[in-house]
């Protein structure tokens, strides 16, 4: 019983610590929280700043305290997880938001009923932690009284880490494993010698819907011209900034197709980015996102005309701008005329 409680408490504490650390690196934005329906008073900049650190302190408190202090930490965790569950369930039910910053960029941000089930489980763990604390259990006491329990926790951690690595691996037909963030515009004027070390994976057979309602696979789209796909969310602050550059890219790269890709309702996507309505592509079952291992926004990938990836996937506004800069440089180099040898040279 004591070992089981220790494993439970460790899982809950680890979730809070990891969540807090991830949020430090990828802070919540006011727009995202408003879409999720978080009350205005809880969206104050001061509260947003301390939110990640409060989760870290709460997780550490569950692991390092005992007695009534542990009861207080467990009850606080129950309240927090309950609040998260209500917010996420309402967002999924109403469709007011398609993603959250629940774990920063570490895990898939898309909100589904599976997200609700995850949060309900965390509420149950918090209630069990409070009940165990009231019964006199605590992590320090269990470890000191039963040294072997620590080995059980470590073994459980290894199993959990291994499970996550297996489940979160990239899709075999076109994930991000080994793709890197290079660029090789095969089919746009560059030969194989210019592709460098970039590992070119096959474009997956994934379906998208265009602005006019027709459907096509990514390979069909790429067969006519190279395509830059930019995965955006209507509730993503960084996406809003990046979206302002996309019309300019469409004009600059006339020989390429530049498309925002949404896993969201047309209405919300169009309302967020009205200037991108025509080039937009839509996925209804996350088929494209899963194929490329998209786990956070914004993400971009470049499709070559030869059926292979030509760049990315890359994550983040700066990395995507870097990919576009690489495209610009490669296209400029391909457009440079070959040097003509002087008269009498190179003709013999």
The full set of domain ranges for the chain reads: 2-167, 192-335
Reported confidence tier of residue 178, pLDDT bands at 50, 70, 90: very low
The number of CA neighbours under 13 Å toward the Cβ of 317 is 13
Considering only residues 94 and 76, tell me which one the structure prediction assigns the higher pLDDT: 76
Q: Which of 105-109, 153-157, 254-258 has the highest mean pLDDT?
A: 254-258
In sequence order, which residues have a C-beta less than 8 Å from that of residue 31 and are 6 or more positions away?
235, 237, 240
CATH assignment, 192-335: 3.40.30.10
Reported confidence tier of residue 43, pLDDT bands at 50, 70, 90: confident
Considering only residues 157 and 345, tell me which one the structure prediction assigns the higher pLDDT: 157
Which H, E and C letters describe 19-67, residue by residue? HHHHHHHCCCCHHHHHHHCCCHHHHCHHHHHHHHHHHHHHHHHHHHCCH
User: Residue 171's pLDDT is what?
Assistant: 36
Count of residues making up the chain: 348
Reported confidence tier of residue 210, pLDDT bands at 50, 70, 90: confident
User: Residue 155's pLDDT is what?
Assistant: 65
Could you tell me the two tokens for 134? 């009231």
Q: 228 has which bridge partners? A: 258, 302
Contact 328, 191 (CB under 8 A): no
User: Residue 174's pLDDT is what?
Assistant: 35
Q: How far apart are CA 1 and CA 244, in angstroms?
A: 56
Question: Quick one: DSSP state of residue 263?
Answer: S
| Mean pLDDT score, 44-59 | 86
Residue 284 has pLDDT above 60, yes or no: yes
Q: How far apart are CA 334 and CA 28, in angstroms?
A: 42
Residue 270 has pLDDT above 50, yes or no: yes
Q: How far apart are CA 3 and CA 139, in angstroms?
A: 9
pTM over 0.85: no
User: Residue 188's pLDDT is what?
Assistant: 46
Mean pLDDT for the chain overall: 76
Considering only residues 316 and 172, tell me which one the structure prediction assigns the higher pLDDT: 316
User: Residue 173's pLDDT is what?
Assistant: 34
């Amino acid at each position: 019983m004591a070992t089981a409680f220790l494993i439970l408490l460790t899982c809950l504490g680890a979730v809070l610590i990891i969540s807090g650390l991830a949020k430090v690196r990828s802070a919540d934005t006011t727009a995202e929280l408003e879409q999720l329906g978080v009350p205005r008073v809880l969206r104050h900049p001061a509260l947003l700043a301390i939110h990640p650190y409060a989760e870290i302190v709460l997780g550490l408190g569950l692991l390092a305290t005992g007695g009534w202090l542990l009861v207080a930490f467990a009850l606080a965790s129950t309240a927090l997880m309950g609040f998260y569950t209500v917010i996420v369930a309402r967002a999924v039910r109403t469709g007011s938001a398609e993603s959250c910053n629940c774990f920063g960029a570490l895990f898939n941000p898309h909100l589904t009923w599976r997200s609700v089930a995850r949060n309900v489980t965390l509420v149950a763990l918090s209630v069990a932690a409070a009940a165990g604390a009231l019964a006199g259990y605590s992590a320090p006491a269990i470890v000191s009284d039963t040294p072997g329990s620590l080995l059980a926790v470590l073994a459980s951690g290894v199993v959990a880490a291994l499970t996550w690595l297996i489940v979160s691996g990239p899709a075999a037909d076109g994930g991000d494993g080994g793709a890197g963030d290079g660029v090789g515009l095969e089919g746009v004027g560059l030969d194989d010698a210019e592709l460098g070390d970039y590992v070119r994976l096959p474009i997956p057979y994934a379906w998208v819907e265009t602005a006019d309602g027709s459907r096509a696979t990514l390979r069909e789209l790429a067969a006519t011209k190279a395509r830059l796909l930019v995965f955006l969310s209507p509730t993503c602050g960084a996406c809003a900034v990046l979206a302002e550059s996309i019309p300019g890219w469409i004009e600059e790269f006339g020989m390429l197709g530049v498309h925002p890709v949404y896993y969201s309702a047309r209405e919300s996507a169009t309302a967020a980015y009205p200037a991108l309505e025509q080039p937009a592509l839509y996925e209804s079952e996350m088929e494209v996102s899963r194929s490329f291992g998209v786990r956070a926004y914004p993400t971009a990938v470049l499709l070559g005309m030869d059926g292979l990836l030509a760049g990315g996937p890359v994550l983040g506004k700066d990395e995507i701008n870097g990919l576009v800069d690489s495209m610009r440089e490669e296209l400029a180099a391909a457009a440079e005329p070959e040097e003509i040898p002087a008269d009498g040279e190179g003709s013999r």
